């Protein structure tokens, strides 16, 4: 098999996985129960929360919106959700074909030693920070802001929370990887080092290899950052319902702690 065919096969597998994820979420989701409208006023602003979800390569924000139907607990009544779409960009591992992509990916499957598009990642981080800044300016406390992402979106989630100057409620990485080298550690502020990370990865992942996910916690520990790592046997490059249930409980606990601290 030629290198070009291997590239096209790999990226096709990644896009297929993203499409299956979106279809699976639509099948599992009950009729959408949208969050209540945000109520203006100082008390509502203090108790509001914000979840930003970043999709994977070749996917879109709207295709991931059914995810929020898994978060039906009362703690999410005043949660604002955002599912932005990545810009269309040429992707190296697809021979330069244009598709929704937060930054460039040089090869698939991704392993701990894969080359990284660090400059592209940092540019994408600026856009994510602008989204977070708008919510903070609108009255949402940083402790109540959570950034989550799958695959390429998971890698961008990690970069965004580590480089944000304030402590956020948390960052949740699903089937992601560390998208830059250790030189970035010196750029992580003391406040950002307090942001907790939840990392979930399927052991059977053949797109972002499990070893790439395993490299995350040691990287974070070297920066003094807390990380809860969860491995899912037999799970490939997709998100399981169990992962979303774990995320719901994880965010709920941090929302309660944040609100107790602010009251």
Catalytic residue positions, numbered: 151, 205, 237
Strand pairing category for 197-202 and 97-100: unpaired
CA angle 129, 135, 140 (to 5 degrees): 125
Find where tokens 């992601």 sit.
Answer: 176
Q: Which residues pair with 14 in a beta bridge?
A: none
- Taking phi over 0 as left and psi of -120 to 50 as alpha, with beta for the rest, 41 belongs to left
The CA-to-CA distance between both ends of the chain, in Å, stands at 62
Q: Which residues contact 23 (CB under 8 A, 6 or more apart)?
A: none
Strand pairing category for 79-82 and 145-150: unpaired
Q: How far, CA to CA in Å, does 131 sit from each of 10, 68, 226? A: 31, 18, 24
Query: Rounded to the nearest 5°, which phi and psi values hold at 39?
Result: -95, 125
Helix segments in 29-145, DSSP class H: 42-47, 118-137
């Amino acid at each position: 098999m030629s290198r070009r065919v291997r590239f096209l096969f790999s990226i096709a597998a990644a896009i297929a996985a993203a499409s299956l994820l979106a279809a699976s979420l639509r099948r599992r989701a009950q009729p959408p129960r949208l969050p209540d409208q945000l109520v203006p006023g100082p008390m509502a602003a203090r108790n509001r929360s914000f979840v930003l979800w970043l999709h994977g390569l070749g996917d879109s924000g709207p295709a991931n919106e059914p995810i929020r139907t898994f978060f039906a607990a009362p703690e999410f009544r005043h949660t604002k959700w955002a599912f932005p779409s990545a810009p269309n960009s040429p992707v190296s591992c697809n021979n330069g074909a244009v598709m929704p992509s937060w930054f460039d990916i040089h090869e698939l499957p991704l392993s701990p030693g894969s080359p990284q598009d660090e400059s592209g990642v940092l540019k994408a981080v600026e856009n994510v920070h602008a989204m977070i800044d708008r919510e903070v300016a609108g009255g949402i406390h940083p402790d109540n802001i959570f950034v989550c992402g799958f695959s390429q979106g998971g890698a961008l989630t990690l970069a965004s929370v580590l480089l944000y100057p304030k402590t956020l409620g948390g960052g949740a990485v699903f089937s992601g990887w560390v998208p830059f080298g250790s030189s970035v550690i010196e750029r992580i502020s003391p406040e950002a080092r307090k942001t907790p990370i939840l990392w979930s990865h399927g052991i059977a992942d053949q797109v972002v290899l499990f070893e790439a996910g395993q490299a995350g916690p040691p990287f974070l520990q070297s920066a003094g950052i807390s990380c809860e790592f969860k491995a899912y046997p037999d799970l490939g490059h997709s998100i399981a319902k169990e992962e979303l249930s774990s995320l719901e409980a994880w965010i709920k606990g941090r929302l309660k702690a944040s609100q107790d601290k602010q009251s």
